Amino acid sequence: MKELSKTVTKTILTGIQPSGVITLGNYIGAIKQMVKMQEEFKSYIFIADMHAITVPQESNLLHENIRSLVALYIACGIDPNKNIIFIQSENEYHANISWLLECNTPFGELSRMTQFKDKSSKNNNFCAGLFTYPILMAADILAYDVDFVPVGIDQKQHVELTRNIAIRFNKKYGETFKIPDAYIAKEGTKIMDLINPIKKMSKSSENPKGVIRLLDNLDDIRKKIMSATTDSDCKIIYDIENKPGISNLINIYASITGQSIKEIENYFANQNYGEFKKQVADVVTREIEGIQKRYYAIINSNEIDNILSENINIVREIAKNKFITMKRKIGLYR
Ligand code: AQP
């Protein structure tokens, strides 16, 4: 077993899909939380590439985004000595476990997942994986007997499903899985699209002007912030309902500088939107410049391959043991 450079008792598992270059939203909402949690927990952090293919992906781009996401995790401060970073599809036992769980999950329960209803209503031509992916997520989690799964509120229902699947399996076949809890970070800020600030900033957004990607050119990032949608009121006040654009920029500034919303409102009380946006652009580009420097130093290095190769052996062994236990309990053996 890999010796992590820390002593911890509780375990978490978390991942991001390589469905595009990650955004400032992913960084603030997910990666910064992971960096904080790495001191307190043993963390399995994976590239959720098998989840990414539940919607169409261009294969060359997907391939690039997988490696790029590993480098970005590290460049953003996820320490490979304190976390087990791995690529989901390299551990074939996730899919194997998922099938055994699928055959133990009622269709009706899966049909109630609101995220499936949302996503499938936007595109009639969706694949079956979009429907069953919460079970793959259950497999990701249950394979490692983790204590907590850090998720946004939109994913809470999937952790509930995971718990139900595990409780039911334990009851039917005997104790097999630890029952995980969702871990909803209090300070998890949702970053909105810069052009349409009532919509979440997303990797797969069609309008690049509304999205800041961590590998965007720094001048482009500055331009995107300077042309972010605001309002005509000219007051730098946090009011999500009536001033979503300005509130989003305040959230971004607060998340990066660590200042409170009140402090920011006071500091910018007599300044105009142009000056405020310029300062938001300054802190964002400074933060991303540091990430990009670290990213370009490691993206083509052996370091990434060494980390992934070491870790895949660790996680494959754990998931394989869980798979074998499940098979025996179900009766799948000679
Ligand atoms: N705008 C956001 N603000 C705060 N947090 C965000 N996250 C995503 N967007 C924001 C968090 O980042 C993690 C990424 O999860 P994911 O890649 O599995 O999927 P997602 O939430 O669907 O992310 P995207 O960027 O919107 O991807 P696409 O466009 O592919 O659907 C999660 O922890 C999420 O909460």
User: pLDDT digits over 108-126, tens only?
Assistant: 999 999 988 888 887 788 9
* 82 belongs to the catalytic site: no
Q: Which pLDDT band holds residue 7 (cuts at 50, 70, 90)?
A: low
Q: Smallest Cα–Cα separation from 46: which of 307, 323, 317, 299? A: 307
* Residue 295 CA to ligand 1 centre (angstroms): 20
Best substitution site from 12, 13, 26, 284 to test ligand 1's pocket, by max atoms within 8 Å of Cβ? 26
Query: Across residues 56-62, what is the average pLDDT?
Result: 96
pLDDT at 155: 85
Q: Which long-range contacts (CB under 8 A, 24 or more apart) does 175-179 make?
A: 176/322, 176/325, 176/326, 176/329, 177/142, 177/145, 178/142, 178/145, 178/146, 178/147
Asked if 260 and 189 touch (Cβ cutoff 8 Å), the reply is no
Catalytic residue among 42, 82, 203, 224, which?
203
Percent of the chain residues topping a pLDDT of 70: 97
CA-to-CA distance for 235 and 219, rounded, in angstroms?
A: 26
> Looking at ligand 1, which residue's alpha carbon is closest to its atom 8?
26
Instruction: Kindly indicate the confidence band of residue 1, based on its pLDDT and cuts at 50, 70 and 90.
Output: very low
pLDDT of residue 152: 79
Write the pLDDT tens digit of every residue in 205-217: 889 999 999 999 9
pTM of the predicted model as reported, rounded to 2 decimal places: 0.92
Q: How many other C-beta atoms lie within 10 A of the C-beta of residue 137?
A: 24
How many whole angstroms separate alpha carbon 141 and alpha carbon 135? 10
Closest by CA to 115, choosing from 64, 63, 150, 157, is: 157
pLDDT at 105 over 90: yes
Centre of ligand 1 to C-alpha 52, Å, is: 11
Q: In degrees rounded to 5, what are phi and psi of residue 322?
A: -65, -40
Is the pLDDT confidence value at 135 over 60? Answer: yes
pLDDT greater than 70 at residue 94: yes
Residue with tokens 């850090």: 150
Tell me the H-state helices in the chain: 24-26, 32-37, 49-52, 59-75, 93-102, 107-111, 114-122, 128-142, 156-173, 218-226, 244-257, 261-267, 273-298, 302-330
Give the span between the Cα atoms of 252 and 211, in whole angstroms: 13
Residue 188: predicted pLDDT: 60
Name residues whose C-beta falls within 8 Å of residue 28's C-beta, 6 or more positions apart in sequence.
189, 191, 251, 252, 255, 256
Mean pLDDT computed over 27-35: 92
- Closest CA to ligand 1's atom 26: 202
- Does residue 117 carry a catalytic annotation? no
Does any ligand 1 atom lie closer than 6 A to the CB of residue 204? yes
Catalytic residue among 178, 200, 278, 320: 200
Copy the structure tokens of residue 107: 């269709």
Please give the pLDDT value at position 120. Answer: 84
- Tell how far the Cα of 174 is from the centroid of ligand 1, in angstroms: 36
The whole-angstrom separation of Cα 143 and Cα 3 is 20
